[in-house]
Amino acid sequence: MVGRDRAGAPTAKGDAVRILITTLPFKAHAYPRVPLAWALRAAGHEVRVAASPDVVDDIADAGLTAVPIGEAFDAEALMAEIREREATGDVPDPEPLMKIDERRPERLTYDFMHGLFTVLTTVVFKNHAPVPATDDLVAFAREWRPDLVIWDPLGFGGAIAARACGAAHARLMYGLDVIGWMRERYLDAVRERPAPLREDPMEEWLTPWLERYGCAFGEDVVMGQWTIDPGPSWMRLPVDHLCVPMRHVSYNGRATVPGWLRAPPARRRVCLTLGLSHREVLGGNRVSMSDLLEAMADLDAEVVATLTADQLSGVRRVPDNVRVVDFVPLNELLPSCSAIVHQGGTGTMQTALAHGIPQVLLPGDLWDTMLKAERLEESGAGLCVWDIERFEARELRDMVGRILDDPFFTRAAAGLRTRMAGTPAPADVVPSLERLTAEHRARRG
């Protein structure tokens, strides 16, 4: 990779370069960055991870150098603000957020997509690029002068910082590229309108941000100059954008393997988890925890449920076949499991796929969860409870029983594991990132 000396002059090919990685203030987004960060470090490059105080310690625990930016994220304050703005009519109807994965052609009108991107910029994106954090990020980028910035697809401060310091930059996907997929269709619809009626909420939102740092808008600020995608190829949305496929490698944070997990299970084992997002971001359970545990009671299996004390509050009883633990690393637990029941989060789903474990999903309708659930069920490697509002313990119990008793699901999951294993590991994509960084740096002069 062509690096630079600190005065900005090109250095010899193969020299170490500087890479700045950004993340949202949630473990569910920070942890997937760790394997790639370490692959880059192991290749001899300098790496910094910029994040809010919420996850700085988690990044440091992973052995990476963290750069604190901005203030701690206050999810409760954000939700209160959104509710207040909704009540006063100061925010568009947030309902389109539930349809970010809409694919029906008759629904993908200009008005629908314009409303969607208006809500995204007003409600979601602006809160993941607050002024203090973006100012801090740009200041650090201009001081440290990275060659490459790798940013979260919801955290546009990373793209802004890359523009401000002249670095190459790429998105590291978390979940499906619903933004890129919808963006392409919206821009097609915009081009069909008369020039005076063409509006782009993304450009309107990002332009003042970029001008604040002396930069101009470009489509790369929305999409990155390229995308690093650790998602399975068969689940990926078709987006006309340069993509570097990368195998998902699980990282679950600081962890110790408990003694009971080192012993082989006496009978089939099922993992029940609601994932980090529902613990730390979305604020609670969407189904009755008592009903969820009761659904497990009659299974001829040991159930390991990763639930906190708060999640268990109000639970009538814990069945005899259920072992409740506050936390256990999924990467260590799943090899001993015959099935997993979870909410459809990206990290949990990817880890289960990597281990070839059949899945039963309780998907919500936020972001890409329903679309991932559809594709998983189509693959044959899992089943889904589609109507959470009418969830019944019997339905879930029957689904888990089918997964355990029918080898079709295990064979399908094993096939997907084999396909994932053929995707380049983080260490294997480093040369591609080096080449792309050098190419984009050269174009900018």
Render pLDDT for 60-117 as a digit per residue (tens, 0 to 9).
999 999 999 998 877 776 667 666 766 666 655 555 555 788 888 998 999 999 989 9
What span, in angstroms and rounded, lies between the C-alpha atoms of 228 and 81?
A: 33
Residue 108 near residue 49, CB atoms below 8 Å: no
Average pLDDT over residues 128-140: 91
Render pLDDT for 282-331 as a digit per residue (tens, 0 to 9).
444 567 788 889 889 989 999 999 988 888 888 888 999 999 999 999 99
Render pLDDT for 145-168 as a digit per residue (tens, 0 to 9).
999 999 999 999 999 999 999 999
Average pLDDT over residues 204-214: 96
Residue 212 near residue 153, CB atoms below 8 Å: no
Among candidate residues 135, 146, 152, 136, the one with its CA nearest the CA of residue 168: 146
Give CA separation, 187 vs 152, 171, 178, in Å: 22, 20, 14
The H or E element containing residue 378 is: helix 369-379
Overall fold of domain 259-421: Rossmann fold (3.40.50)
pLDDT at res. 418 = 97
The two domains 2-247+423-444 and 259-421 share their CATH topology (first three levels equal) = yes
Specify the CATH architecture of the domain 2-247+423-444: 3-Layer(aba) Sandwich (3.40)
Q: How confident is the model at residue 5 (pLDDT cuts 50, 70, 90)?
A: very low
Residue 272 near residue 298, CB atoms below 8 Å: no
Average pLDDT over residues 232-247: 96
Domain-wise residue ranges, the chain: 2-247+423-444, 259-421
Residue 130 near residue 160, CB atoms below 8 Å: no
Take residue 355 and report the two structure tokens written for it: 């281990």
- In terms of Cβ atoms closer than 10 Å to its own Cβ (0-12, 13-18, 19+), residue 146 is buried
